Chain A
Amino acid sequence: MSVKLSALYSDSYVDIGQYRDQHFKGQLGEQESLLKYSPTLYVGNLSFYTTEEQVHELFSKAGDVKRIIIGLDKVKKTACGFCFVEYYTRADAENAMRFINGTRLDDRIIRTDWDAGFKEGRQYGRGKSGGQVRDEYRQDYDPARGGYGKLAQQHRPGEARNSF
């Protein structure tokens, strides 16, 4: 009965997603619990050129931003297309999930998801080449994310030579 009624109070944009950090250090269920109360968001599908300033401007529309950590390529130490946004309150982060998730930043639709909280080391991409995992296997060409995916780049060694 109460499930039906809760549909009237629906707030689905704020629900916890499916992603769980495989490197998370803690007890079973701890990550879920942290996600439920966390004021930190993971932000994905950024352009490599998106700056901290742009992220700050956009995400400030949901509330006061405590800090932003730009995700870095582990090898090159340059931006690799994701970041963390931490608010002072959960309520502000919820508004970001409701109204900023799925809208554009730097002409790209960005995606936000709950994060258990920033820990040193989590600012680095976990792909083999140093960037994000998704950029390892990507087949499409995305000029704002280094062009072709890393695997696809390996299969195209002759590209540069063939163009006139």
Chain B
Amino acid sequence: MSLMWESMSARLLPEKLTVYTTLVGLLNARNYNFGGEFVEAMIRQLKETLKNNFYNEAVYLVRFLSDLVNCHVIAAPSMVAMFENFVSVTQEEDVPQVRSDWFVYVVLSCLPWVGKELYEKKDVEMDRLLSQIEGYLQRRVKTHVSMLQVWTAEKPHPQEEYLDCLWAQIQKLKKDRWQERHILRPYIAFDSVLCEALQHNLPPFTPPGHMPDAQYPMPRVVFRIFDYTDAPEGPVMPGSHSVERFVIEENLHCIIKTHWKERKTCAAQLLSYPGKNKIPLNYHIVEVIFGELFQLPSPPHIDVMYTTLLIELCKLQPGSLPQVLAQATEMLYMRLDSMNTGCMDRLINWFSHHLSNFQFRWSWDDWADCLSTDQEKPKPKFVKEVLEKCMRLSYHQRIVDLVPATFSALIPAEPVFRYKYADESAASLPGYAISITVGNAIKNRASNEEILTILKEVPNPNQEDDDDEGETFNPLKIDVFLQTLLHLAAKSFSHSFSALGKFHEILKTLTDSDEGKLHILKVVYEVWKNHPQMIAVLVDKMIRTQIVDCAAVANWLFSQDMAHEFSRLFIWEILHSTIRKMNKHVQKIQKELEEAKDKLEKQQHKRVSHGDDEDMDKNSEDEEGQLEEQIERLQEKVESAQSEQKNLFLVIFQRFIMLMTEHLVRCETGSVDISTPWYKNCIERLQQIFLMHHVTIQQYMGTLENLLFTAELDHHILAVYQQFCALQL
């Protein structure tokens, strides 16, 4: 019985829900006790999933239960009672909105399956239920919605908050007298058998109370890119407020959730969706996939999965899917002006990776309109970044040959090293002579001491006297050494990594101060500004080998020197990668601390159970002492790491606030509109920090509110913070 439950578990194949409920219905008709046990098992399962924050699973369990009403396993009134208990959560006070949201969502999302049956049996109660829900939906706070929308524009398709959309769909379903024709209902064929069955009553189910550590699902916005005008031939796409649209999208999302690790199976399952002849399936599939890829704060699965899945789908439907994909790409391009910056990043990465699998074939001329506008506008920016990514997956000449000559202004720079001391034309530069000496020393495998001695000769432009006492910050020394070293190692990533490793000692000495760290980053940028990919990997290596720290990288990215690169994708890739490294570092030490604590506990247990043995006692005490010391050290390490992490976020937010305030003040004094492309980029990048690292930032909300996001802040900037809080993540 439990085996059957396992294998039929609605969690695994929710898109086949009605097949399983029919089976349970038939078994229940034969054996009343089986039905009773099964329902009890499901209720137990539901309690468990809710306790463990598996809210997405719980939705399917409730939906399964509700479909069991259609199969005469569960009596309709008891289902209505369960729904009433769920909706009563909306009356609770002092709970996060996302909690009551979830309970309302569950009830509404079951109605396509069971609305008709419940209304036939209990229409008065259902009407009351729906009106309660309506009241709640009107009261809800919706500050969070704009942070989750893929486009800032309402046209051509408004992006609705998910509950609002579902409510509209259920309203329409009700108006249609609950006639729903899309869901496959095998139990209808067995009605004569099923209607003889005895039904069970659901036990009264009280939703578990709110716990402070509960993690309710995040609100969503419904992604729409297609409507009935877009599929030229064949079946018409169901309207955005039709319940069919909801069911199709639910099922397609389920299929992806089930099979995402196996792309061939996933693609095949998507394409064999039952009822596919009545809907423009390819359009639905493409819309659902892009909906997940662009979901804010982040896609449900790793980005690259969607690229590979789309490629598989193109392979299976070579005559139709590529065209739909091209159509979608065109539409996404046309709406770039209002597309969220973080979503555009994902579009850039997807499109370039996709093209690299199809010989970069694209009708670039169709996008010639991007050539006539300011390069900071979204369309030319997008094309530039795409070409840069395409180049990284191929090589410079390939891109030159690929695009029409008219696009030459958007072609990325050739990724070559820029050596300051390259030849005699640089002879007048102060560091020139020593650069040659250092270069030769490195080539002749001089020791670190010998090289440091050579470098002592470098004059310090910051100092008046020849003061050798203490290693004061000498930017020229850093410049000469690093430029020369990286020049010699420019051939490949491995060469450069090897150089950083070999001369680690020298680099650590040179970057002992904060200014030193900042300057080394400056030099890396100077020499490799044509090769952002190289800059990113070098910065990564330098953080990992502690030549620079995370805060230094953040300060460098926000510095005046880098202001002209502020809207380029590589800047943000470096920043987010830096934050992730910091987060992983903290997690790693926390894990070590937990493991040490566990070990100590086990050790203490052992001692207690072997209480009488004196020898064991002594050894045990020693070990415990050692562990306690270790735990103390790790505790300190954790605190220090968390402090560094908090500081990193403070630096980043502070810099954002400074930049944005400057802009807002300048615009106000000049009576200029604040909404420049730069400003849109900046605000969305700030939002992105909040969204992408919300788990970590939650810990520091108090400090952020007290120090930075205070009431005195310009309301434009404060709004971002308030929207983030409204997500109640």
B-binding residues in A (CB < 8 A): 1, 4-5, 8, 10-14, 51-54, 56-58, 61-62, 64, 67-70, 95, 98-100, 103-107
For the complex, what is the distance from the CA of A68 to the CA of B537, rounded to whole Å?
A: 12
Residue from the list A67, A68, A103 in contact with B308, Cβ < 8 A: A103
Partner-binding segment picked from B56-64, B281-289, B299-307, B545-553? B299-307
Residue from the list B7, B304, B353, B533 in contact with A53, Cβ < 8 A: B533
Instruction: For the complex formed, measure the closest distance between the CB of A8 and the CB atoms of chain B, giving whole angstroms.
Output: 5
Q: Which residues of A contact B12 (CB under 8 A)?
A: 8
**Apart from A53-B534, A57-B389, 16 more pairs, CB < 8 Å:** A5-B6, A13-B261, A13-B263, A51-B395, A53-B493, A57-B392, A57-B533, A58-B393, A61-B304, A64-B540, A95-B302, A99-B302, A100-B304, A104-B356, A105-B356, A106-B393
Q: Please state if A99 and B263 are interface contacts (CB–CB under 8 Å).
A: yes
Q: Which residues of A contact B307 (CB under 8 A)?
A: 61, 99
For the complex, what is the distance from the CA of A101 to the CA of B577, rounded to whole Å?
A: 24
**7 smallest A-B Cβ distances: which pairs?**
A61-B304, A57-B392, A99-B308, A99-B304, A104-B357, A11-B261, A52-B492
A54 to chain B: closest residue by CB: B393
Residue from the list A4, A58, A98 in contact with B263, Cβ < 8 A: A98
Interface core residue of B304, B356, B533 (most chain A CB under 10 Å): B304
Within 8 A of A (CB), among B193-243: none
Q: Please state if B494 and A68 are interface contacts (CB–CB under 8 Å).
A: yes
Q: Which residues of B contact A100 (CB under 8 A)?
A: 304, 308
For the complex, what is the distance from the CA of A54 to the CA of B392, rounded to whole Å?
A: 6
For the complex, what is the distance from the CA of A106 to the CA of B497, rounded to whole Å?
A: 24
Within 8 A of A (CB), among B294-353: 302-305, 307-308, 311, 349, 353
Q: Please state if A51 and B492 are interface contacts (CB–CB under 8 Å).
A: yes
For the complex, what is the distance from the CA of A4 to the CA of B4, rounded to whole Å?
A: 12
For the complex, what is the distance from the CA of A51 to the CA of B394, rounded to whole Å?
A: 9
Chain A proximity mask over B545-578: 1 for CB below 8 Å, otherwise 0: 0000000000000000000000000000000010
For the complex, what is the distance from the CA of A4 to the CA of B357, rounded to whole Å?
A: 35
Q: Which residues of B contact A70 (CB under 8 A)?
A: 494
Q: Please state if B304 and A95 are interface contacts (CB–CB under 8 Å).
A: yes
A95 to chain B: closest residue by CB: B302
Do A61 and B303 form a contact, CB below 8 Å, given A5-B6, A98-B263, A107-B359? Answer: yes
Can you sample 6 A-B contacts with CB below 8 Å?
A: A8-B13, A56-B537, A57-B393, A98-B262, A98-B308, A106-B394
For the complex, what is the distance from the CA of A105 to the CA of B357, rounded to whole Å?
A: 7
Residue from the list A10, A61, A98 in contact with B353, Cβ < 8 A: A61
For the complex, what is the distance from the CA of A13 to the CA of B389, rounded to whole Å?
A: 27
Q: Which residues of A contact B311 (CB under 8 A)?
A: 103
For the complex, what is the distance from the CA of A58 to the CA of B12, rounded to whole Å?
A: 32
B303 to chain A: closest residue by CB: A61
Q: Please state if A54 and B262 are interface contacts (CB–CB under 8 Å).
A: no
Interface core residue of A4, A13, A53 (most chain B CB under 10 Å): A53
* In the complex, B265 has a CB within 8 A of chain A: yes
Q: Which residues of B contact A95 (CB under 8 A)?
A: 302, 304-305
For the complex, what is the distance from the CA of A62 to the CA of B304, rounded to whole Å?
A: 7
Q: Please state if B494 and A54 are interface contacts (CB–CB under 8 Å).
A: no
Q: Which residues of A contact B302 (CB under 8 A)?
A: 62, 95, 99
Within 8 A of A (CB), among B461-482: none
Do A56 and B493 form a contact, CB below 8 Å, given A10-B265, A13-B262? Answer: yes
* In the complex, B707 has a CB within 8 A of chain A: no
For the complex, what is the distance from the CA of A68 to the CA of B540, rounded to whole Å?
A: 15
* In the complex, B405 has a CB within 8 A of chain A: no
* In the complex, B3 has a CB within 8 A of chain A: yes
Interface core residue of A12, A58, A103 (most chain B CB under 10 Å): A103
Q: Please state if B359 and A68 are interface contacts (CB–CB under 8 Å).
A: no
Instruction: For the complex formed, measure the closest distance between the CB of A155 and the CB atoms of chain B, giving whole angstroms.
Output: 32
Q: Please state if B7 and A8 are interface contacts (CB–CB under 8 Å).
A: yes
Interface core residue of A99, A100, A106 (most chain B CB under 10 Å): A99
Q: Please state if B262 and A103 are interface contacts (CB–CB under 8 Å).
A: no
Q: Which residues of B contact A1 (CB under 8 A)?
A: 3
For the complex, what is the distance from the CA of A13 to the CA of B262, rounded to whole Å?
A: 7
For the complex, what is the distance from the CA of A53 to the CA of B388, rounded to whole Å?
A: 13
Q: Which residues of B contact A10 (CB under 8 A)?
A: 261-262, 265
Residue from the list A11, A68, A105 in contact with B262, Cβ < 8 A: A11
